[in-house]
Structure 1
Amino acid sequence: MVKMTAKPTVPMAMTAIGETHARSRITSRDVTATIDEPEARGGTNQGLSPTETLMSSLIGCTNVISHRIAEKMGVEMGEMQIALSAEFHRMGAMLEEEIDLPFSNIAMQIEVATNATPDQLEAIKTDLAKYCPIAKVIRGAGITITENWTSTPL
C-alpha cells in the first residue's frame, strides 16, 4: 500500500491558445505542448490529437505510477514499453450523435524490465489500478482498461 507523504491537493493551472480551429498550444508550468489534428482532418499535424493526448496520458500515468509503486516496495523497475490500442467511436466528435462512452476496448500491452517477483509484480498491478489518476477517471466513466503485463529480468 502506498502511503501519502505530500500535500493531499495541489493547485493545477493551465492556459491555452486556440491558434486555429484544429490546433491548440497548451502551457502548464514552464512547458508548452501542441494539440493538433492530422492534415486529413484540417489540422497541421504538429501534435497529438485531443483523443490521442488522452490515451497518451494513460500511458504516461501507467509508467510514472508503476515506477513509484515499485520504488516504494524496494523493487527495481527499468524501461517500460507500453503499446495501447483502443476502439474510438467517432460519431460524437463528428457531431453526428451523442456517444456516452466514446472509447471501448482499451488494451495496454506492458513489458517491463524488473527484479520483481511474480507476487510483487501482481501487487504493483493492483496498486496501479488504485492510484493512477488517469486510469481511475477513465474507469470511473465506465470504460474498461485491460492490461497485459510481461516482464524480463533486470
Structure 2
Amino acid sequence: MAIRQKTHVTLKLSGRGTGHAQSEIAVRDLIAVIDEPVERGGTNLGPSPTEMAYAALIGCTNVIGNKCAARLGVDIGHLAFEMEVDFDRRGVLLMEEVEVPFTSIRLQVTADGPASQSDLDRVAAETAKYCPISKLYENSGTDVTVTWAKA
C-alpha cells in the first residue's frame, strides 16, 4: 500500500544569534551556520543570509529538476550550476527600504547526461512550474532567467 503524502504541512525551524553577524539554524537534526564575511564584521563560518537564499534556488532547481526528469523519463545525468544575482543593497545598508532587493537572477544549468536539448527544454519547463524557490523569487518581482544546456 502506497503512503499518501500530505499536501500541506507546517515546517518548523529554530535558531539563535551566536553573535551580531552569526546565527545557528536548526532544521530537522541539522545545524546550519549563517554568517557574514570578515569584511562585513562576521567570522565567515557560513554563507550570509542573502547567499543562503540564492543557494536555495540552486538546491531547489536540482531537486525539482531531477524529479521532473524522472517523471518525464529523461536521463539528465548530473546537474551543474552557475548563478549571477543583481542585488540592490540599499536596504541592507539601511539607506532606504527596497521593495525588490534581488532585481534579477541568471541561473545556468548544465546537464551531463545523454538527454537531448529538446528533452532538457521539457525538463526546464516542468521545473519552472514546480520549483517553490523560483516561484518565491518570481512572485516577489525578481526577473529570473534559468537556462538549461548540455555539458
Normalising by structure 1, report the TM-score: 0.91
RMSD between aligned alpha carbons? 1.2
Q: 2:107 matched to which residue of 1?
A: 108
Which ranges of structure 1 fall in alignment gaps of 5 or more residues? none
Aligned equivalent of 2:139: 140
Q: Which residue of 2 aligns with 1:94?
A: 93
Distance 2:25 2:107 in 1: 26
Q: CA shift at 1:148, angstroms?
A: 2.0
> Secondary structure, in 3 states, of the residue corresponding to 2:105?
strand
Structure-1 residue corresponding to 2:5? 6
Structure 2: 5+ residue runs without aligned partners? none
Task: Name the amino acid aligned to 2:145.
Answer: T
Q: Between Structure 1 and Structure 2, how many residues are aligned? A: 148
Structure 1 runs, 4 residues or longer, greater than 6 Å off: none
For residues 8-60 of structure 1, give each alpha carbon's deviation from its aligned partner in whole angstroms, at most 9, with x where no partner exists.
12221000011111000000100110000001111000000000000000010
Cα distance, 1:87 vs. partner? 1.0
Deviation of 1:73 (Å): 1.2
SS in 2 for 1:43: coil
Separation of aligned partners in 2, 1:34 and 1:132: 24
TM-score of the two chains, using structure 2 as the length reference: 0.93
